[in-house]
Structures are given as structure tokens and as C-alpha cells.
Amino acid sequence: MIDRLPPRPTVPLKIAVSECLTGAEVRYDGSGARSSFPHEVLGALFTLVPVCPEMGIGMTVPRPPIRLVGTTGSARATGVVDAGLDVTDALHQYGHTMVAKLRSQAICGYVFMKNSPSCGLFRVKVYPDSPGLSPDRGIPVRKGRGIYAAAVADAWPALPLEECGRLSDAVICENFVTRVFAYAHWTDFVSSGVTAVGLVAFHSRYKYLLMAHSVPAYERAGRLLSDLRNNLLDTANVYIVELMTGLARIATRGGHANVLFHLQGYFKDRLDGSARQELAMLVEAYRRGEQPLLAVLALIQHYLRQFPDDYIARQVYLEPHPASAALRRSL
């Protein structure tokens, strides 16, 4: 049975990036930050749409530096030298404005500049709000999120987000690319018209990929789709957030091994005893860290060619992004 979903997305996909990461000299001191972004890995996969929120709200280059001041969760973006400069509300509003604009441009992911009081996603410095201290004396805590980045994340919870510095980690980079391709497929599906049959078919394709990343998310998504008689679009909106949140968890070797053992089960009645044992031993060797993931997948693909199975062949888990990117070499 053909599920009639849109085809898997092809490169290049559009992602937004902090403009300084493209090398544009838009930072507060007039510099860029191209070296902080792994262009070589992602350049063939994505078209970059640059955004500088500080320039977007009318700040100049060069400009007075800003920082987060206050407490985690309620910090404000104020001037380092001139504490009277407060661009919090402007950055927050610009985030919501850009979400609407980026949605219209079919953006499928976003890479932010690390440590930025406007764009940082993780562990941004938050300084104490102590008027009696000089600008350089307050001891910051690394628990903040940039004002603009927080606004984008809140307004667009399903969008795959990442920070430039973390993308140098091969596992995190592969995870981000996986999420971007999944979200691009989802947007194509939504554009084609959401139906109950289509929603179930979409989940069917992604169930093993989600299982590898998060069994609880996999179980919640399954329960969510168990009754699609009412409020289909609302259910779809909840589903995609559940899917993308689950995929944002890094898949462990145990998570992958769990899925691989499930896939192995589809061949148990088709393989002889020695072949079944060989596959089982290879999966277990992968789980122990003795074999790469690609070794197990190659054998599964080999058996899939011998014993075709449409359900398994459609599983996104087998190839969540273009094999030419070689992103699974480190898994």
C-alpha cells in the first residue's frame, strides 16, 4: 500500500543563521564570526538565510555592546557601559516579526551565534542587577538565553534550533541535520493537506527514528494519534512539537540498538539461523561500542534488498539525511 506522502526533501534546504556566522561584519565591534560555523559540513545541504536582530532593530555597526542583566528567565538586554540602554522589548518583538517572515520563506531550521545576549541559545551570561557595581565587577551566571533567540523558540517550538559552537560536535551536528530534514518533510506534508490517513502514514515513517531518540516521545506520539476523529489540525500541531522535541534528544547507542533489534525482527522468518545470529551479534557489538552504526545498517540494507519489505524500506531511520553528507560516520 502506498502512503502517498510528499517525497522526502532534497537539498538544499533553507535554514536561518545569525548573520555574523556568514562572515558578514555585523557584530557590535564590526567583526564577523565565520570560523565559528562548520560551513564545510553544512554548505552542501543548506541555503543560509542570514538574520542579525540587533541590526534589525536599528542598531548600528559598530554599536554599544549589550549584555543580559537580572535573573535567569527575566533578564533584560541592557548596555554594558550605558545601563540606560535597554533593547529587550525591541529584540523580543523583532523575534516574533521574524518568525512570521521566516515561516513564509519555508525555513526549516535555525543556527544561532553562541554567547550572544540577543542570539545565544544556551548558557548565555546573565549579570546581577546591582546598580552599585561597576560594569565589569558583577559575577555572571551562565544560565541565560538571548532575548531574540528566546522569542523565536517560544513562538516556533517545532523549529529545529542549534547553536554554532555545538555544531562542531559530530553527534550534535548529525542530530540537527536529522531534525531539519524531518521538519522540511513535515512542512511539505502540511502544504499538501493534512488528513488523518496522511498523519498516521507520516508517523509510520518516522516511528523508528523517534524511538531511537526517545521511547517516551514515541509512546506519547502513538497515543496522540490513536484517535483522530476530532480537531485534526490541533492534533497535528501537537504531534509535530512532540516529534521534534523527541528528536532533539541525542540518540544513544542503546536507543539505536533498540531500533536495530526491532528491525532485525522483520527478517527472522526469512534468514537462516547463522544469518540471524550474525545480525544479532553485530547489533550487540554496536551497542557495546565495538562496531559503527553504519556497519549494522549496511547489513540490514543488504537483507532488505534480498527480502524487500515496503514498510521497512520507507523508514526514515535508515537514511534520515543524504548519505553523501557522511554524517553517521561518528555514530
Task: Please give the order of strands across the beta sheet that includes 110-112.
Answer: 46-51, 13-18, 110-112, 161-163
| Residue 147: per-residue pLDDT | 98
Angle, vertex CA 287, rays to CA 286 and CA 293, nearest 5:
40
Query: Exposure of 116 by Cβ count < 10 A (0-12 exposed, 13-18 middle, 19+ buried)?
Result: buried
Cis peptide before 53 (omega within 30 of 0): no
User: Which residue, chain included where needed, has cell 521574524?
Assistant: 98
- Residue 239 cell numbers, joined: 504531534
| Residue 308: per-residue pLDDT | 94
How does strand 141-144 pair with strand 124-127? antiparallel
- Averages of pLDDT over runs of 10 residues in the chain (331 residues) are 82 96 91 77 92 97 94 92 94 98 98 96 92 65 97 98 94 97 98 96 98 98 93 96 98 98 93 95 97 97 95 97 93 90
Query: Exposure of 229 by Cβ count < 10 A (0-12 exposed, 13-18 middle, 19+ buried)?
Result: exposed
319: left (phi over 0), alpha (psi -120 to 50) or beta: beta
Spatial contact of 124 and 55, defined as CB atoms under 8 Å apart: no
CB atoms < 10 A from the CB of 104, how many?
Answer: 8
In sequence order, the 6+-apart residues with CB closer than 8 A to the CB of 120 are 112, 113, 114, 144, 145, 146, 149, 163
